[in-house]
A and B are shown apart, each in its own frame.
Chain A
Amino acid sequence: MRVSMDLELKDIPGQLVLALKPVSEFKGNLISVVHHHEKKTPRGKIPVHLVFEIKPDHLDNIISLLEESGISVVSVDEKRYLEHGAVILIGHIVHTDIKDTIDKVDNTGYAEIVDLNLSMPRVNRPSSASLKIDAVSKQHMSAAIELLKSIAKEKDLLVIEPIGIN
């Protein structure tokens, strides 16, 4: 997941390295570091804005390590799902247990169905639905779509996926 974090560092040498060390220790991937030396806080501290990608279960460790080093963590904003995708389903979507279809994706832990638009023209005619999927990463998105395709095969639904997946 992607984490955006506001820190406050003491205005003494070596603080920035100290702040980045826990991220690197837990194999986080730094996206950006903005060091606002000119915007000192009233307490004389220097605001730093970090953005990095990290496995979700490592975030708490990073925060504890930072606090142990005397760095104030002012705010943490985590964005778990980086990938947004859409697919279309055609077939008897509702009567083949739509809840089960959604649950199977949601239960993966790496992807969720976040929106569903359903069009049911007439009884006994196939329905169409557009599904929005959020996933942790590109790989997880294609895994989620593969999963949907295998569910669709069992339920005789047609999945129309975007180009460029895989």
Chain B
Amino acid sequence: MKTIRASIIGFGAVGRGVAQVLLDKNDYLQSIGIDMRIVAIADSKTALVDHQGVDLESALSRKKETGTVGSEIMSGTEIIRTLDHELVIETTPTDIDTGGVGLINMMAAFERCMDVVTSNKGPLALKYGEVIAAAKKSGSHCRFEATVGGAMPVINLACDVLAGNRMISMEGIFNGTCNYILSRMMEEQAPYEQMLAEAQELGIAEKDPTYDVEGIDTASKLVIVANSIFGMNASYRDVTVTGITRITPEALSLANADGFAIKLIGEVNDSRINVAPKLVPLSHPLAVGGTLNVFSVQTDLAGPITITGKGAGSIETASAILSDIINIYKN
């Protein structure tokens, strides 16, 4: 049995999902020889530290009841810099302008030769090369399946499962919020603003939906895909981006009459990284509705492979994080 001491930095939906999944899957993890011990949890204001392992159940209920996870005033970065542990589970929110605290946390972890599993897109979409170089230098693992497509296996599928294949191109729907809004606009023949409001009411869209609807979220994911799967050295600024805010219900119905849906499609190939609304034939595998995500990768040996699944959600994203953790420590 290998004991892995880990911290969860960021205790929002994803961080809490990770705690829940670690609780639910504890027996399984033990059965494959992994003893996960969470020695610290940090949210944006407080921290909970216990060298013997925090009680995840009470941490979750405390967060639910009081809004904070602990009583200590200690930042995630301080935890990484001062507390002895092997793994940082970095689930702070994405900051696409600077990389934010996530970037600081990841670099701090690599300085101390710790492994990092993250769902934070910012650091990788902005400074992929630097982050990976720092991990390599310190001999740390850095895995980030949860940054792209939530529960859908994207990075690990291409890099591990399809190892040996050359990836020619990838296209798909990487943002459930946009997919929901466009699908509902078509169904209801309703304007964008109305369906955005509905999505916000249901918690599918953020109060400030800019990241999603302007295509910024999709673009960040594509940069991570381009760098990690296609071996590019791209940054968020290399992506041409068009969002969905100008789409009209009339356009959706004209497209539908011609046998097409309109979807916000992200594509990566040798020459470009592009996000734009596109016409997708209604019978095409990429024409999935609701909040679903989907992508299709063209490979030289295996041909086209299409995966569809839930692109967001607390437990779904935690599933990607768990698979990264198991991948690092199972051997």
Chain A 110-122 per-residue mask, 1 if CB under 8 angstroms from chain B, else 0: 0000000101010
Q: Name the interface residues of B215-264: CB closer than 8 Å to any CB of A.
A: 242, 246-248, 250-251, 253-255, 257-258, 260, 262
Q: Which of B246, B247, B250, B281 has the most CB of A within 10 A?
A: B250
A130 to B259, alpha carbons, bound, how many Å?
12
At the interface, yes or no: B181 with Cβ under 8 Å from chain A? no
Asked if A90 and B247 sit within 8 Å, CB to CB, the answer is yes
B31 to chain A, nearest CB (A): 44
**Given A90-B247, A126-B246, A128-B250, do A160 and B280 touch, yes or no (CB 8 Å)?**
no
A91 lies within 8 A of chain B by Cβ? yes
Looking at chain A's contact residues, is the secondary structure mostly helix, strand, loop, or mixed? strand
Interface size class of B (residues with CB under 8 A): 20 to 34
Chain B at the A interface: SS class: mixed
Query: Is B137 engaged at the interface, CB distance under 8 Å to the other chain?
Result: no
User: When the two chains form the complex, which single residue of B254, B262, B278, B280 contacts A119, counting CB atoms closer than 8 Å?
Assistant: B254
Q: Is A146 an interface residue (CB 8 A)?
A: no
Q: Is the CB of A160 within 8 A of B255?
A: yes
Select from chain B the residue with minimum beta-carbon distance to A125: B248
Q: Return chain A residues, CB-CB under 8 Å to B278.
A: 160-163
Q: Is the CB of A129 within 8 A of B254?
A: yes
Contact A126 B260, beta carbon cutoff 8 Å: no
Inter-subunit contact A160/B251 (CB<8 Å): yes
CB distance from A163 to the nearest CB of B (A): 5
CB contact under 8 A between A130 and B257, given known A158-B246, A163-B280:
yes
Residue picked from A117, A119, A163, most chain B C-beta under 10 Å: A163
Which of B254, B280, B286 makes the CB contact (< 8 A) with A128? Answer: B254
Nearest CB of A to B273, in Å = 13
Interface residue B59 (Cβ < 8 Å from any Cβ of A): no
Q: Does B171 make an interface contact (CB < 8 A)?
A: yes
Chain B contact residues, CB within 8 Å of chain A: 171, 242, 246-248, 250-251, 253-255, 257-258, 260, 262, 265, 267, 276-281, 284, 286
Q: List 20 A-B contacts (CB under 8 A).
A: A87-B279, A90-B247, A119-B250, A119-B253, A119-B254, A125-B248, A126-B248, A128-B251, A128-B254, A129-B254, A130-B254, A132-B258, A158-B246, A158-B277, A160-B262, A160-B278, A161-B276, A163-B265, A163-B278, A163-B280
User: Using a CB–CB distance below 8 Å, which chain A residues touch chain B?
Assistant: 86-88, 90-91, 117, 119, 121, 125-130, 132, 158, 160-163
